[in-house]
Structure 1
Amino acid sequence: MGGGPVKNILSIAGSDPSGGAGIQADLKAIAANGGYGMCVITALTAQNTQGVSAVQAIGGEFVLAQLEAISADVQIDAIKIGMLANAEVIRAVNGWLDTVDAPVVLDPVMVATSGDRLLEDEAVLDSLLDRASVITPNLLELASLLREPAAASWPQALEQAQCLAAKHGSLVLAKGGHLAGELCPDALVSGEGVLAEFSNPRLDTKNTHGTGCTLSSALATLFAASGDWVCALEKAKAYLFRAIGAADELNVGSGHGPVNHFADFFSDTDPMDSWWQQIQGLRDSIDNLEFITQLADGTLAETDFEYYLAQDALYLQRYAQVLSEASALAPDLEAQRFWANSASEILEGELQLHRSYLAEGTANPSAITLNYVNHLAASASSYAELIAAILPCYWLYQDIGKRLASANHQAHPYKQWLVTYASEEFDRATERAISMVREAWKQADDGLRERMRVAFMRSSEHEVAFFDQARQNRVEFPTV
């Protein structure tokens, strides 16, 4: 979380005996993000990973007694409010908030992910909503607070979030995780519009119990440390993405299990392994490309191979410059030498190999080539992000080269090109590049880690398009 004193974060919420949501999830998320967690319990629930079977509200007077005991003795730096089961408890919390000065993240827990209703009368929430710094409803709760049907699209969700923010003079965190699609978007919205938007790929797991509680508690904790809601959201969302990504490492219940709140501390998962798995679909699609299958069996048309090499030569000229930029940004002499030597090898080795296949003449960069090099240039805002963007040009080529190695028989027309990427020398360079990205990731904060991952993913997508561009060119500009 950075330097400075540890912030004291108070969660006011219900209890989940299965440990995945409510107070239990809040305290885990607060601790995982560097805060000191405190709690006031507003309700007891009987629930597990399969759903909620009973709710027992704590009396308003006792809730107030808990609140007053804490605020009389402890400095509260931020407050997260979750489940408030009835009007009596809401009134007790509302009255107590008049006596303290701390930012409030309100997660209006009325409908759980499982579909269970957790609040008797949401109408009494209006006065509490006016006091919130940020409101973090899911789509069903957002619609319920506005007395409207649930949003069926992301633009509609943003519109509803802006309406709620304007109504209560607060910020609203719009959450699109329940919408269909490959991405899970979140946006911080004011009464004037979207302040910031972040998206992550949808992870394939049923273990998402407590995501709302976790995100709102992380947001409160990170804001207490930074004083910046946008920065706090970016870090909180990256933390939740990692917690969901490691959820299957746990073995809790037979229904919708919890996220792995302490994945950053106890998981043995290598972030590079996680990235590699996240591009499994892209790697599979490369294997099925016409260019790759025909390159493997030696039937690839010479015109297609030359078109690819011409574009690759244009790409490598800019790529060598990018490697030189990485060398200039590198934090130590060893890394500086590695990236500088890599740039030199491209200029003196790979480009010469390409020219040996190509006929005399000039080619213009395709839109696909330009898009790729522009992405690399845009990633040069930091050393860590840049080398993450560079990595697929090592890793994917090594992976493909190894699997094409069996095609390297003497008569193969492209043998000289194939052996370059299946060599032990290229293996060592790839492993060194992976290691450097891993070390940069370890030194990065949550926001930079997520930008590194996104840069890696985008470069991998560009690699797929790059391999396929000879076919696309042939389709768009057929020879007569």
Structure 2
Amino acid sequence: MERLASAETLPPSDTGRSIPRVLSIAGTDPSGGAGIQADLKSIAATGGYGMAAVTALVAQNTHGVRSVHTPPADFLLQQLEAVSDDVVIDAVKIGMLGTAELTQTVGRWLAEVRPPVVVLDPVMVATSGDRLLSTGAEKALRDLLHRVDLVTPNLPELAVLLQEEPAATWDQALDQGRRLAGTYSTAVLVKGGHLAGETAPDALVVPDGGGGFAVTEVSSARVATKNTHGTGCSLSAAMATLFVRTGNWVRTLTAAKAWLQEALETADRLDVGTGHGPVNHFQGVWERGLDPLPPDTSRTPDAGPVSAAASAAPAPAGVRTAALWEATAGLRARIAELDFIRGLGDGSLDHGAFGFYLTQDAIYLRGYARAMARASELAPRLQEQIFWAAGARNALEAELDLHRNWLGTAGGTGVEQVLAAPAGTDPSGPATRGYLEHLLGRDRSVEEHIQYARLVGAVLPCFWVYAEVGARLQRLNHTAHPYREWLDTYADPGFAAATEQAIGILETVLARNASERQAAQEAFTGSVQWEHDFFAAGTLP
């Protein structure tokens, strides 16, 4: 089935953001190495457009802070509202807040605006070890954790958030990260930079919704430099930006760590200040231009290693989607052996059979668009609402634009006739009707968050299984292939990006409570079976 056309066919606001609009809420650093100055550099260096709301005017340099001036909380609110009233915000990075009043102001604004992604770098402990916040401000910051998607404390700050002593070992740090993530139901980036050793380990700790945690460690070589000023600010701003681009925290951390490693390794070249200087935010941009996101190096069940240059199915976004993908490996292998897939791959597929398949696909896409529109209606986050709405629109555009020419030459029913027929009276086959009933079936007695989880699970195989089939078929394509133009659609980068984002949404859904997880898993497995049956019916004109 042809799913989504290239992202270039949609207005930018209707797709995943290639240039995220990221707001930094933090204090200043006139020497340029930390605070909003570092955030804006990090956002730009990792592919975003940076904005800033100032919480404090800080007189500091590479040797330390000299004084702090805190503007009134109502002025901070005016800054925040001025931005959010005018600009669609894709992500927020929060740094220095300073007082309980400022923290509460930001919390109320977040509750009203509900940005899709919020990353908090809790500025609580100075390099000297001194506490930077009052007891009341620390409590307000803990309350703010309920409104963020990721918190990125260093080890002293992690300890303060838990009201404990700092971890002395990596295992202790991971334990504290799990308990913080479990207490506030948020992802935690545990950073091992304060520990001794030749490596600098970081770990992403994400609650799985069932009382456990998905823990992913990404280590890098420790860089021998004193120029580490603003490292925490920079990493958290990069994480906020890159997550909008990937929709996947693991890929985000991998990309952010690679970027920061290079910034640290070349920091001495800047020669800024006589104390602890800044990292070299723009080294990669100055040397190569903006890097693409790192390729997935995971292994699909039967397609071998994946590289950026080869057409390949997107990888799971985490342990939950990996387990679900593996559970359907046998059924997906059977899809690859179907006569329709084999005939489409080697070009021997009868044109009449292909026309029948296209007709069924046009009918299917109309219902599939309705399913995604319903997912957009139920989605709890603005980013997900936008994604599913764009998917629904693009499914209909694909139906009109891609099928019209093919149906006119492949022996099928014209797409206009298919569209003109009321749903249920069109020439749909049993597999098409069954698949759509599976997608669109709605139990009104079930709570909406369960309905949403089920919908996400049900619609994803149309992305993911199709991407896997497409990767296999695209490898067989050649200039003389009778279905060359159709197979070219499998290599569309816009569809690949949409599939990755959909997988990321499913990973988030699977990490919620047991009822949502079960609904999504059962719907996903059912849709994989229907994908098999739909392709199998393609040779039955």
TM-score normalised per structure 2: 0.49
Matched, 1:235 2:251: no
The unaligned stretches of length 5 or more in structure 1 are: 272-324, 333-480
**Match of residue 208 from structure 1:** 228
2:93 partner SS: strand
Matches within 5 A, 1:156-195: 156-191=172-207, 192-195=212-215
Counterpart contact for 1:187–1:194, Cα < 8 Å = no
Counterpart contact for 1:208–1:258, Cα < 8 Å = yes
**Match of residue 98 from structure 1:** 111
1:177 partner SS: coil
Shift of 1:220: 0.2
Counterpart contact for 2:90–2:244, Cα < 8 Å = yes
Counterpart contact for 2:220–2:261, Cα < 8 Å = yes
Matches within 5 A, 1:284-299: none
**Match of residue 43 from structure 1:** 56
Cα distance in structure 2, aligned partners of 1:268 and 1:61: 43
Counterpart contact for 1:113–1:209, Cα < 8 Å = no
Matched, 1:152 2:172: no
AA at the equivalent of 1:68: E
Counterpart contact for 1:246–1:267, Cα < 8 Å = no
Q: Which stretch shows the higher mean deviation, 158-167 or 260-269?
A: 260-269
**Match of residue 69 from structure 1:** 82
Change in CA separation of 1:26 and 1:37 when aligned onto 2, cut-off 3 Å: same
**Match of residue 84 from structure 1:** 97
AA at the equivalent of 1:28: K
Counterpart contact for 1:12–1:82, Cα < 8 Å = yes
Cα distance in structure 2, aligned partners of 1:196 and 1:182: 19
1:99 partner SS: helix
Shift of 1:260: 0.3
Superposed CA offset, 1:142-199 (max 9, x none): 0011110000000000000110011101000000011000000000012423431100
Q: Tell me the percent identity.
A: 57
TM-score normalised per structure 1: 0.55
Shift of 1:267: 4.5
Change in CA separation of 1:266 and 1:123 when aligned onto 2, cut-off 3 Å: same
Counterpart contact for 2:111–2:147, Cα < 8 Å = no
Counterpart contact for 1:85–1:119, Cα < 8 Å = yes
Change in CA separation of 1:252 and 1:116 when aligned onto 2, cut-off 3 Å: farther
Cα distance in structure 2, aligned partners of 1:255 and 1:199: 27
Shift of 1:238: 0.8
2:112 partner SS: coil
Change in CA separation of 1:266 and 1:112 when aligned onto 2, cut-off 3 Å: farther
Counterpart contact for 2:200–2:219, Cα < 8 Å = yes
Counterpart contact for 2:95–2:121, Cα < 8 Å = yes
Matched, 1:138 2:154: yes
1:253 partner SS: coil
AA at the equivalent of 2:51: M
Cα distance in structure 1, aligned partners of 2:283 and 2:49: 18
Counterpart contact for 2:34–2:234, Cα < 8 Å = yes
4+ long deviations beyond 3 Å: 2-5, 112-118, 329-332
The structure with more radius of gyration: 1
1:236 partner SS: helix
Cα distance in structure 2, aligned partners of 1:8 and 1:70: 11
Matched, 1:14 2:27: yes
AA at the equivalent of 1:254: T
Cα distance in structure 2, aligned partners of 1:114 and 1:208: 14
Change in CA separation of 1:194 and 1:183 when aligned onto 2, cut-off 3 Å: farther
Shift of 1:230: 1.0
Matches within 5 A, 1:298-447: none
The structure whose RCO (Cα within 8 Å, separation 6+) is larger is 2
**Match of residue 225 from structure 1:** 245
Change in CA separation of 1:18 and 1:180 when aligned onto 2, cut-off 3 Å: same
Give the root-mean-square deviation of aligned CA atoms. 2.4
